[in-house]
Amino acid sequence: MGYKSIESIHPDKQKEIEEVIDRMTFTKNFRSATAEEWYIFLPGYKDPKSGGAAGKAIIHYNLYGNKEVFINTTIIFDDPDLYKDEAYQLVYAIADELVNRLVGYVDTLLSVHAGQNSYQAEYK
């Protein structure tokens, strides 16, 4: 059998991630028949220009008939501190939690924009 690598998170980093996620809030800014826009508020992070939300999530629903639902979710972080190398675990954890809370268990294509911590994922 091959070697399996399990990434471990330093306990201090794990504590930071848990605190940010526990205190994360979001508010709906816009809703249409096929999309929602949510502002994301994170403790210790903010938009450097406005001083407001650290980012936003845009959820676009693709409905095919009444049996298949597919979601396109884009998360855009505005705080440059979330673009740094050391923030990648936090960015992934926040994005994962946002998908769980805002989208749920529907097939989802995720696009995260956070500088060099940007990535794409598929939830099935």
State the CATH number of the domain containing residue 64. 3.40.630
Q: What is the DSSP string of 50-108?
A: TS--SEEEEEEEEEETTTEEEEEEEEEE--GGGGSGGGHHHHHHHHHHHIIIII-SSEE
Which pLDDT does position 10 carry in this prediction?
84
Q: At what angle do helices 88-98 and 11-23 cross, to 10 degrees?
A: 40
Contact of 123 with 112, CB cutoff 8 Å: no
Which pLDDT does position 5 carry in this prediction?
43
Residue 4 lies in a domain: no
Task: Provide the sign of the torsion angle of the four alpha carbons 25, 110, 102, 34, taken in this order.
Answer: positive
Strand-pairing partners, residue 58, are: 37, 74
Residue 120 lies in a domain: no
Could you list the mean pLDDT of each consecutive 10-residue stretch along the chain, which spans 124 residues?
59 92 94 91 96 96 69 96 95 95 88 97 90
Residue 70 lies in a domain: yes
Answering whether pTM is above 0.85, one says yes
Strand-pairing partners, residue 108, are: 71, 123
Residue 56 lies in a domain: yes
State which residues form the domain around 87: 11-115
Residue 108 lies in a domain: yes
Q: How many domains does the structure of the chain reveal?
A: 1
Residue 62 lies in a domain: yes
Q: Could you tell me how far CA 113 lies from the centroid of its own chain?
A: 9
Which pLDDT does position 1 carry in this prediction?
46
Which pLDDT does position 50 carry in this prediction?
94
Contact of 27 with 68, CB cutoff 8 Å: no
